[in-house]
Amino acid sequence: MAHGTLRVTDPAPGVRLLTIHRPQALNALNPQVLRELMQALADASGDASVRALLLTGAGEKAFVAGADIAAMRAMSALEGREFAVQGHALMRALEMAPFPAIALVNGYALGGGCELALACDFIVASEKAVFGQPEVGLGIVPGFGGTQRLTRLVGKGMAVELCTTGRQVKADEALRIGLVNHVVAPAALLDKGLELAGQIAQKAPVAVKLAKHLVQRGQDMDLANANAFEADVFGVAFGTDDRVEGMGAFLEKRKAEFRGR
């Protein structure tokens, strides 16, 4: 399916693939792209068959090269803030989606593109991937959560360095500093994403949703409250049909047939 700037496919059972398709602009984010991503994410979140989401950019040069500078140049201060609020809403929706979202970074992921990848649950990068927050070179700061998610992922010192120098990080360094989970050859990027998404899709859907929820919400709590939250959610999982099926299948040495309830 096509949604203007977005291509939506289901390349494997339980897997939804969103491809940002503005190759003439290196897939740069503008208000239309943000709206269409939000709608596609809402559609996927309302589809019980979707167990994992892959997000990538069209072409070989860029995942998302950044926010659309031509569009931003004409924005007033109020319009700039509204654009940031729109971006933050999308990033939060990715974090709160009922399935893991995996960024497949095939090239440049700069500015808003880096922030979009950071909002996914984890990142698989091509060897050609390049990350960065270059906004200070434009007289602005990251506006879609880059200063905050980058800090939580790579630590304060590295986040301050990247956000104040605008330095770009290639795939090997991104792996070393914990920005990405995997680095693969460009031709293997989609296959790696499908492999990981397929592993997720085979597991109990409610348990996967709860596990993601615990990580996303717990990181902003102190350890004692986060662990108490985990204990509560652990108990909730015991009330699901999937828990009965999963434990029964394990003890009976057969494959579990999860139904997401």
pLDDT at residue number 1: 59
Separation between Cα atoms, residue 87 and residue 82, nearest integer Å: 9
Which CATH number is 205-251 given? Answer: 1.10.12.10
Give residue 240's pLDDT band: very low, low, confident or very high (50, 70, 90): very high
Domain boundaries, the chain: 6-201, 205-251
Q: Read out DSSP for the chain?
A: -B-SSEEEEEEETTEEEEEE--GGGTT-B-HHHHHHHHHHHHHHHT-TT--EEEEEESSSSEEE--B-HHHHHT--HHHHHHHHHHHHHHHHHHHHSSS-EEEEE-SEEETHHHHHHHHSSEEEEETT-EEE--GGGGT----SSHHHHHHHHH-HHHHHHHHHH---EEHHHHHHTTS-SEEE-GGGHHHHHHHHHHHHHTS-HHHHHHHHHHHHHHTTS-HHHHHHHHHHHHHHHTTSHHHHHHHHHHHTTS-------
Is 135 a catalytic site residue?
yes
Beta strands in the chain (DSSP E): 6-12, 15-20, 52-57, 62-64, 101-105, 108-110, 122-126, 130-132, 169-170, 182-184
- Encoded tokens for 43: 């559609």
pLDDT in tens, 16-71: 999 999 988 999 999 999 999 999 999 999 999 999 999 999 998 999 998 888 88
Which pTM was predicted?
Answer: 0.93
Helical (H) or strand (E) element with 75? none
Percent of the chain whose pLDDT exceeds 90: 90
- Pick the catalytic residue: 79, 135, 230, 245? 135
Q: Is pLDDT of 261 > 90?
A: no
Separation between Cα atoms, residue 231 and residue 158, nearest integer Å: 33
Separation between Cα atoms, residue 106 and residue 124, nearest integer Å: 9
The CATH T-level fold of domain 6-201 is: 2-enoyl-CoA Hydratase; Chain A, domain 1 (3.90.226)
Q: Is pLDDT of 2 > 60?
A: no
pLDDT in tens, 154-200: 999 999 999 999 999 999 999 999 999 999 999 999 999 999 999 99
Calculate the average pLDDT of the chain.
Answer: 94
